[in-house]
Amino acid sequence: MPERRTVALVTLGCARNEVDSEELAGRLEADGWELVEDAEDADVAVVNTCGFVEAAKKDSVDALLEANDLKGHGRTQAVVAVGCMAERYGTELAEALPEADGVLGFDDYANISDRLQTILSGGVHASHTPRDRRKLLPISPAERQDSAAEVALPGHAPADLPEGLAPASGPRAPLRRRLDGSPVASVKLASGCDRRCSFCAIPSFRGSFVSRRPSDVLNETRWLAEQGVKEIMLVSENNTSYGKDLGDIRLLESLLPELADVAGIERVRVSYLQPAEMRPGLIDVLTSTPKVAPYFDLSFQHSAPAVLRSMRRFGDTDRFLELLDTIRGKAPEAGVRSNFIVGFPGETEADLAELERFLNGARLDAIGVFGYSDEEGTEAATYDNKLDEDVVAERLARVSRLAEELVSQRAEERVGQTVRVLVESVDGDEGAYGRAAHQAPETDGQVLFTNGENVTVGLMVDAKVVGTEGVDLVAEVLPGSLARAEEAAR
């Protein structure tokens, strides 16, 4: 009888990392590893790190150190770093953090089982050596698909699991193992990014933009539906570019209705859209297709023209407001969220006032505000006109206060509306809650039920908004909605 090998995956960062962890889980289970939930119950703890901003990097290091503390006190024998921070820093991270028994890059994912077995057996696998992943594929998007098979692209794994791991799904099961029972799952639409925003290092360690084939996205969605998933969220670094390397920049417009037609799927959500790349046809599909959420995760980042140009981005306050007017003209209750950077090098008080003008007029449902800090390897890190840290901190606090007030006001505008809510949690102490179409997982608030005694996780119910708690909505399930939802789920 083969020796029992256990592994736990600890995931930090964004939804893209969650997909990558489930691909790693699929690979490991296919090779006989037993997946466990808690690191203390695992022979090997694999920490899928985030390498985007300083706070996320600190969280990743803390998670690695926490897992390392388990060694010698239980089952855990090794701690291994994977993910964006491991890919970005590789040998540098290994030298700075000797507590990690291995630092593996994306190129190691296809052989993750062998790598972990080597480390678990006391061997040493050379730490990943970082490189600019933008140089691994042709500059021309049209030439990338033929070369993509030779480059490690997390979340783009082959479409078949070995026989027996997903018998209900047969040959279309993806190389993926779900790590929780949530009715929501993310699906990789693409990887990498071709934009060159001056503050962002992601393209250097995630590489150039590569779309997944529509058939792979559809097959994975069908498999997820068979696992009980009701909502899928399409994720990538830039979903508005989907299809450009497949010869059709409008491919997302045709794919979305097909995804919405998958049996068992109740909602399709698209994340991370670039305002400068929004097309009338894409807006039409997002606002009019049944089961496709009229949800717009728009990466504005700022609205003052001078700051945006310094960021290597496009647009201004009035153009952004026109875009929102167009969206709401087609879907008045559409959800919109965005992130913003304040204190960017060269940002003036007039620039900040312009951003505040936009925020006051935009009626966003969720707003993330971040104070600028240098990211090594980025163009912005070389700029001379940096603001003092105390100025950045003051502006961050000022805009954050405004954002909190504005999203609370926007939530109050929804009082009296009927929202369609996917039930995500039912707890005897905390009650039941879920999310409406304008609320993405983790980032945009939730709906708390006043009468959720009989709802169950995974049901899609209609509810009337009767109050708010900050960005969260308080709602009551409408009479008859629960019975209809249960009938639809049968």
Dihedrals φ, ψ of 457, to 5°? Answer: -60, 135
Q: Known binding site for [4Fe-4S] cluster: residues?
A: 14, 50, 84, 193, 197, 200
Pull the structure tokens for residue 237: 């670094």
User: Could you count the other beta carbons within 10 Å of the beta carbon of residue 373?
Assistant: 16
Closest CA to 335 of 363, 295, 282: 295
What does the alpha-carbon distance between residue 457 and residue 423 come to, in Å, rounded to a whole number?
5
What does the alpha-carbon distance between residue 119 and residue 96 come to, in Å, rounded to a whole number?
19
Instruction: Annotate 419-445 with DSSP letters as a single string.
Output: EEEEEEEEETTTEEEEE-TT--TTTS-
**Helical (H) or strand (E) element with 477:** strand 472-477
User: Could you count the other beta carbons within 10 Å of the beta carbon of residue 267?
Assistant: 21
Q: Known binding site: residues?
A: 14, 50, 84, 193, 197, 200
**Please, what is the angle between helix 389-413 and helix 349-362, to 10°?**
10
- 3-state helix, strand, coil split of the chain in percent (to 5) is 40, 20, 40
Please name the residue that has the structure tokens 């995956």.
Answer: 9
What does the alpha-carbon distance between residue 312 and residue 220 come to, in Å, rounded to a whole number?
35
The 8-class DSSP code of residue 97 comes to -
**Contact 112/154 with Cβ under 8 angstroms?**
no
Residues β-bridged to residue 270: 234
What does the alpha-carbon distance between residue 209 and residue 216 come to, in Å, rounded to a whole number?
17
Residue 384, SS3? coil
Dihedrals φ, ψ of 138, to 5°? Answer: -60, 150
What does the alpha-carbon distance between residue 188 and residue 174 come to, in Å, rounded to a whole number?
12
Instruction: Annotate 287-320 with DSSP letters as a single string.
Output: HHSTTB--EEEB--B---HHHHHHTT----HHHH
